[in-house]
Structure 1
Amino acid sequence: MPGRLLRLLSLLQSRREWSGAALAERLGVTDRTVRRDVERLRALDYPVEGITGTAGGYRLVSGRNLPPLLLDDDEAIAVALGLATAAGGSVPGIEESSMRALVKLEQVLPARLRPKMASFGGVTAAVPHRGAPHVDPGVLATLASCARDQEVLSFDYRNRAGEVSARRVEPHSLVTVRGHWYLLAYDPDRADWRTFRVDRIERPLPTHRRFTARELPTPDAVAYLARSFASASYRYTARMTVRLSPEDIQARLFAPIPGEVEPLGPDASAVRLTADSAELVVQYIAALAALGAGYTLEAPAEITDRVRRLGLRLAS
């Protein structure tokens, strides 16, 4: 009995809604047994809500109290690592609460998982992203829950120029890059995918309208974000021709390029660098030049002047 209740709880936590028939099939029991087990979970303060309809069903909803969560081994390790590194992230105000939660988790961590957790703790560290914008943990939670539940999301968005527009999107996923959080979503009003900086999102609200998930035009959210960065045009743009293949460039640089790299034959590449910061563009120009291959540079005067001054400082 306890084992079946735990399996039922795990299923209810794995997705938003289940039909009674699907739960009975997964558990290998009758619909009547599922109904009895649901009542037992409710008696243990798990807020399991019944769904009306032709088949009927159940879903686990938010209640007054936080009931215990059921995590498998990989999920437990992932949560512990996330809590351990939260103090070095870009979400302010959660360092102390993260440590308290980590202590509670470690107290109940099964013995078989402790060596794995200890091995991570000895060789990992979090480097804070200085200068990265702070984001509201509540905003992140709202975006993540709407993406998980496939619920249309509305919010006000402030673009780079400071202009604010009302948006209504189908959220797909959250991605963090160099301390910045981004929401990847489909915008029906623009009939296209869009990325939004989370620190520029204001007043996000679930609309309680469901949508059917769309297929990304790239293998995953990270690949789409990289393509979006490459095709964007920011305040400063420079172009370099480097006598290396794109694979050699990406393999030898310390971080992904804020732009696009295209092959110009087997041993040459066209590199487009773009960013709102002139300093960042110059840093990547210097990094590419330091690879030791021949190159040419096309850039506005503000960029080339900075490159010359940097060269003089290095030479001196």
Structure 2
Amino acid sequence: MRALAKLEQVLPSRLRRRVNTLQAYTVPVPRDDAGPSIDPTVLTALSAVCRDRERLRFDYHDHAGAATVRAVEPYRLVIWGRRWYLLAWDVERSDWRTFRVDRIRRRTPTGPRFTPRDLPDDVAAYVSRRVSAAAWRYQAQVTVHAPAEVIADRIGPAAGTVERLDERTCVLHTGADTVETLAVHLGLLGADFDVTGPPELLTHLHRLAHRYIRTITSSAPGDRTG
């Protein structure tokens, strides 16, 4: 978003209006892993239909590769690291939906115009809850032996959502494209935890544990010479 602000200062008025629209209808979420790059013309086109309150039709492929045609009322673009999501009201499903922009293939023309609805109270948090784990290749539910509010303060919303079990225990719903990134999320918890899967994550955690134990053993004071 800082780059957009700098770009705005040197643009002619016609292009500056497009950048202003993109900024006005974009909601940032704290940075996570890098995602696919997006054609800027797609972002400006989507921000324009958000601004003009025009219905949008597009072809969409979900994370499993299933193809559908969607008709929506677009409201906001949400940045998550380098991933872009469109928050929209799905006309046929009568509910809010989030769509990865890199999976959208727009159909023309747009329209008709629609009467705006009340947005969720916290757009960034809402989108985070909807896509934080479901969008990733690897997903995990981790029982953490610490209060939910403590864990929520230690991780960003892009890393997952925290569900309270009791005063001393919570569940972290998390995900990532790689098990290495998942392990980083767990390392940031600063608390004991139990995890049952996925198997690839358990294998990676075993490797990390052996590596750390080997490092500690080789660095023990009694083993030093000289």
TM-score by length of 1: 0.55
Letter in 2 for 1:267: R
Distance 1:130 1:307 in 2: 20
Change in 2 beyond 3 A, CA 1:173/1:238? same
Distance 1:83 1:139 in 2: 19
Deviates more, 1:269-278 or 1:132-141: 269-278
SS of aligned partner of 2:55: strand
Displaced runs of 4 or more, over 6 A? none
Distance 1:134 1:148 in 2: 23
Distance 2:164 2:158 in 1: 15
Larger relative contact order (CA 8 Å, sep ≥ 6) = 2
Conservation of the 8 A alpha-carbon contact between 1:234 and 1:275 = yes
Q: How does 1:135-150 map to 2 (within 5 A)?
A: 135-150=38-53
RMSD: 2.6
* 1:269 paired residue number: 170
* 1:281 paired residue number: 182
Deviation at 1:208, TM superposition (A): 2.8
Higher helix share: 1
Letter in 1 for 2:181: L
Distance 1:200 1:270 in 2: 30
The partner residue of 1:226 within 120, 128, 140 is: 128
Matched pairs, number: 196
Distance 1:281 1:273 in 2: 8
Distance 1:146 1:131 in 2: 26
Q: How does 1:284-299 map to 2 (within 5 A)?
A: 284-288=185-189, 291=190, 293-299=191-197
SS of aligned partner of 1:83: helix
The partner residue of 2:160 within 252, 256, 259 is: 259
Distance 2:201 2:66 in 1: 27
Conservation of the 8 A alpha-carbon contact between 2:77 and 2:86 = yes
Identity value in percent:
38
Q: How does 1:1-316 map to 2 (within 5 A)?
A: 82-84=4-6, 98=7, 102-103=9-10, 131-216=34-119, 218-229=120-131, 232=134, 234-253=136-155, 255-256=156-157, 258-288=159-189, 291=190, 293-315=191-213, 316=215
> Gaps (5+ residues) in structure 2?
13-30, 216-226
Deviation at 1:286, TM superposition (A): 2.5
> Gaps (5+ residues) in structure 1?
1-77, 85-97, 106-127
Change in 2 beyond 3 A, CA 1:280/1:257? same
TM-score by length of 2: 0.75
Higher strand share: 2
CA displacement, residues 187-207 of structure 1 (integer Å, 9 cap, x when unaligned): 111221111111111134342
SS of aligned partner of 1:250: helix
SS of aligned partner of 1:210: coil
Structure number with larger C-alpha Rg = 1
Deviation at 1:280, TM superposition (A): 2.5
Distance 1:161 1:270 in 2: 26
